[in-house]
Amino acid sequence: MSDGTLLSAGRGRPLSSTAVTTLTSEVTRHPGPKRVLVVAGSPEVTDHVLDDLMPADQVVIWATDRSYAAALKVDLAGARSRVAERVTVVTEGSDLDDESIDVVVVATPITGDAEAAHEALDRYRSLLRADGVLSVATGASPASGGGAAQALQEAAAAYGVRSDLVVRNRPPLRIHHLRFSPADPALAERLEPAYSPSHVAVTRRMGIDSNGVAAAGIVGGLALLTKLVRPRSKAWLVPAVAALPVAAFFRDPRRITPNDPNGVVAASDGVVLSVEHLKDDRFGGPNEWLRIAVFLSVLDVHVNRSPVAGRVVDIIKEEGGYANAATAAAEHNVAQYTVLETTRGRAVVAQRTGLIARRIVNRARIGSLLSRGERYGLIRFGSRTDVYLPADAAEAMVAPGDKVVGAETVIARYV
């Protein structure tokens, strides 16, 4: 790497805690042992990685300049001496072993021209192991990041496993997580659920999906506008009172997934509609599937979670109607099927619209790894989720009429 140049925007404005957590999320969720490269221009990012360092982890900090490298070495000799033996500080011109890094974090948002961005991406890519991930940030729009933002957008379209918009930062950022070769599905079984800025924490155990923040803001803004236009009228109370239940619909509580390696968890809250064996050749899996369908009322939590750990290999979108999700006609509703490759074969989770539900949000990307119980999307206003498992490899643990809790209730078990 001695012939390369470090691509960054300089120290600039400090990153927000949300941006730092999102940028380093692939480090945090990997249980290790792992080797991490931090292309450092942001002390906040470096500190976050070192604070979360696991006992068997190793970190290489590629400092942006020699004075920064000197300051880091002083810190490691003093306040961070307990991790010093597992941290290496290098500067421009140092050599690094190719294909030895599990996670590369570029700590400073990338701006500039597209050619320099492509060169930097190629260099970081050469350092990654086969399952490795590169996490980089740039401006939220191509205009704010220059040609580099466009280059990163193109890379994300080809190799992105997750792209997060961080609005709680000045300026807003787009953070891309790139994987350049297919990951082993077995790795997903070891990963923690990925942090996502779409989850807005309210308390330690309760949050709201970003869709809810936006919806509540719109309703609240309508109340304010009504008050300004008709100050003597009480009509503003209608949207003002509606803001709270609208936000509550998008609630996103913390869930604890059971420690059962053979367990398959519910993809959503709700009531079990059906448990059946059927044939479906759309997903390239077994000849027969075990399907467990769950109905969500408007009062249920509508955040959807992955029932198993695996790699996303396909996302199938189907057009259709908007029949009541609790009826047989819902089989032909608008739906999205997320197909997962797992160590037990293929599994599928379907998001299906209902009579009131008109929008499916699916944040999964082909190539991404989902851990069991990880958030990956939601359906607005009453709907249904279906989990498909190989019929000869799994048995149902629930029956029609049972109440289930997303990510916590074991609905089936591999045999």
Binning pLDDT at 50, 70 and 90, where does residue 325 land? confident
Binning pLDDT at 50, 70 and 90, where does residue 12 land? low
User: What's the pLDDT score for residue 10?
Assistant: 43
User: What's the pLDDT score for residue 285?
Assistant: 79
Inter-residue long-range contacts of 159-165, CB under 8 Å, 24+ positions, other chains counted: 159/367, 160/365, 160/367, 161/133, 161/365, 161/367, 161/368, 161/369, 162/194, 162/363, 162/365, 162/368, 163/365, 164/22, 164/196, 164/197, 164/198, 165/140, 165/197
Whether pLDDT at 359 is above 90: no
Fold that domain 17-181 belongs to in CATH: Rossmann fold (3.40.50)
Active site residue 81: no
Average pLDDT, the chain: 89
Sheet holding 160-166, edge to edge: 87-90, 58-63, 35-40, 101-106, 128-139, 173-178, 160-166
Structural domain boundaries in the chain? 17-181, 207-249, 263-414
189 DSSP assignment: T
CA distance 307 to 263: 9
- Structurally, what CATH architecture does the domain formed by 263-414 represent? Distorted Sandwich (2.70)
Asked whether 295 and 384 are in contact (CB, 8 A), the reply is yes
For residue 400, how many other CB atoms are within 10 A of its CB?
12
CA distance 325 to 3: 60
User: What's the pLDDT score for residue 148?
Assistant: 85
User: What's the pLDDT score for residue 108?
Assistant: 84
| pLDDT digits 0-9 by tens, 289-306 | 999 999 998 889 999 999
The more confidently predicted of residues 169 and 271 is 271
| pLDDT digits 0-9 by tens, 90-144 | 887 667 777 789 999 998 888 778 888 898 899 899 999 988 999 999 887 766 6
Q: Across the chain, which distance is largest between two alpha carbons, in Å?
A: 72
**Helix H or strand E segment including 229:** helix 210-229
Whether pLDDT at 318 is above 80: yes
Whether pLDDT at 7 is above 70: no
- Considering 25, 135, 306, 383, which one is annotated as catalytic? 383
**232 Cβ contact list (under 8 Å, min separation 6):** none
